[in-house]
Amino acid sequence: MTKKPLIKRFSHTDLDGVGSALLLPAVLSKFPEFAEAEYLGVTYCEPGNEGTIDPNVLAFIAENEEPITHLFITDICPSEEVVEKLAAYCKEKAIEWRIFDHHISSIAINAAFPDNSRVIVQDETTGLKHAGTTVLFKEIVGKMPTELFDDQQWGQLANVADCIRCYDCWDWQANPAAAYKEEAKDFNNLFYFFSFDKRVQLMEAVMANGLTYLEQYQDIITAMQEKEADYIKGKLKHARFGTLAGLHFAYTFGEQYQSSLGNAMAQLVNPATDEVVDFSLVIVGEGVSLRAVKDDVDLSRIAKRYFNGGGHQKASGGSFFKQELFVFDQDTDTTMRLLEIASR
């Protein structure tokens, strides 16, 4: 008798992470061999570099007693050392495992584990930047969501997956031909309006019902649009400027709308150079969110080197992690440590 699939998932906590974790059963359910699959709870991991998920994976290896048949990691990647331990564990337990990710800082995992790792930054067929949802969709279904919008079987999930991709890759703003413009940002803002458990419930409902499910929240979405615009306008007035690794950046504190705020700040002109800054830095507690609009700036490297983080070329994040980083404060005509700024 064929063993019923029992599936374990690990994922990121953001829109794309929750989306890819919940897209997985929605997609697999359309394949006969997974029609009766059972799923253990998702282990969600906070953002950061490729090792952020390591403690969660190591705890699983040490403590798991479930007869798992399949294991999937989406939108986040363990360090190579921990992937090696996971691979050995899965081989011993006869568990099929896959990593579906799109962060350039984790792409080396492909070479180390070519049969199990699918870290893909850009789709070769369409030229679109990938999100975790679309890497998963393309690898399992065989086509990008944009190619299946009108497909009877896959159309609903394809539209959800691409809307998430449009936001996560900032495609809704950077790509004039993006399928979803304001809808992508609205989905993300609504997602973060709720507590985490409610975010998961929202995503489950969207996977089951499609993007039209979000229409019932239009009043909330409109109010959030107005609030976001006012918040970013106020923050831009108080932005400051500094230099790091020979690059000029704008920075501010930002407890809300970090992505939108960061992208707006990345377009500011530095009064000291009369040129658009190379990137922006939004300080959130001891964490940082980095954004860039210039093609010649790779924030994934900056985040990894200076902030123990990682991510994409134009969108990355991390933490201060006891770094001795300095910026020049124009208001006081002094050089200040970023750690001192963040502690204020």
Mean pLDDT on 58-86 = 96
Tell whether 211 and 278 lie within a shared domain.
no
- pLDDT-wise least confident of 210-214, 223-227, 321-325: 321-325
Domain limit, last residue, from 219, 251, 273: 219
Please report whether residue 233 resides in a domain.
no
Please, which pLDDT band fits residue 47 given cuts at 50, 70 and 90?
A: low
Segment 263-298, tens digit of pLDDT: 899 999 998 899 999 999 998 877 888 999 898 999
Q: φ, ψ for residue 164 (rounded to 5)?
A: -65, -45
| List of residues 6+ apart from 248 with CB closer than 8 A | 241, 242, 270, 272, 273, 275, 277, 278
In a domain, 231, yes or no: no
| Residue 87 sits in the same domain as residue 148 | yes
Question: CA-CA distance, 278 to 274, in Å (whole number)?
Answer: 12
146 and 190, same domain (yes or no): yes
Average pLDDT of span 47-75: 87
Lowest mean pLDDT among 100-109, 313-322, 334-343: 334-343
- Which of 115, 150, 122 has the alpha carbon at shortest distance from 138? 122
Percent of residues, the chain, with pLDDT higher than 70: 91
Domain span holding position 263? 238-342
170 and 66, same domain (yes or no)? yes
Query: Quick one: 249 and 284 in the same domain?
Result: yes
pLDDT of residue 1: 46
Q: Are residues 254 and 323 in the same domain?
A: yes
pLDDT digits (tens, 9 = 90+) for 166-188: 999 888 877 888 889 889 989 99
Q: How many CB atoms lie within 10 A of CB 81?
A: 10
Q: What is the pLDDT of residue 339?
A: 45
The answer as to whether 230 is a domain residue is no
Query: What is the reported pLDDT for 338?
Result: 54
Rounded-to-integer distance, Cα 102 and Cα 50, Å: 11
Tell whether 266 and 332 lie within a shared domain. yes
Number of domain units in the chain: 2
The answer as to whether 232 is a domain residue is no
Verify that 184 and 284 share a domain, yes or no: no
State the CATH number of the domain containing residue 20.
Answer: 3.90.1640
CATH of the domain at 294: 3.10.310
Same domain, 126 and 260: no
Q: Quick one: average pLDDT of 259-263? A: 88
Whether 330 maps to a domain, the answer reads yes
What is the average pLDDT across 192-198? 94
* 277 inside domain: yes
Beta strands in the chain (DSSP E): 6-12, 38-39, 43-45, 70-74, 96-101, 117-119, 240-244, 247-253, 269-270, 275-276, 279-284, 287-291, 310-311, 315-319, 326-329, 334-337
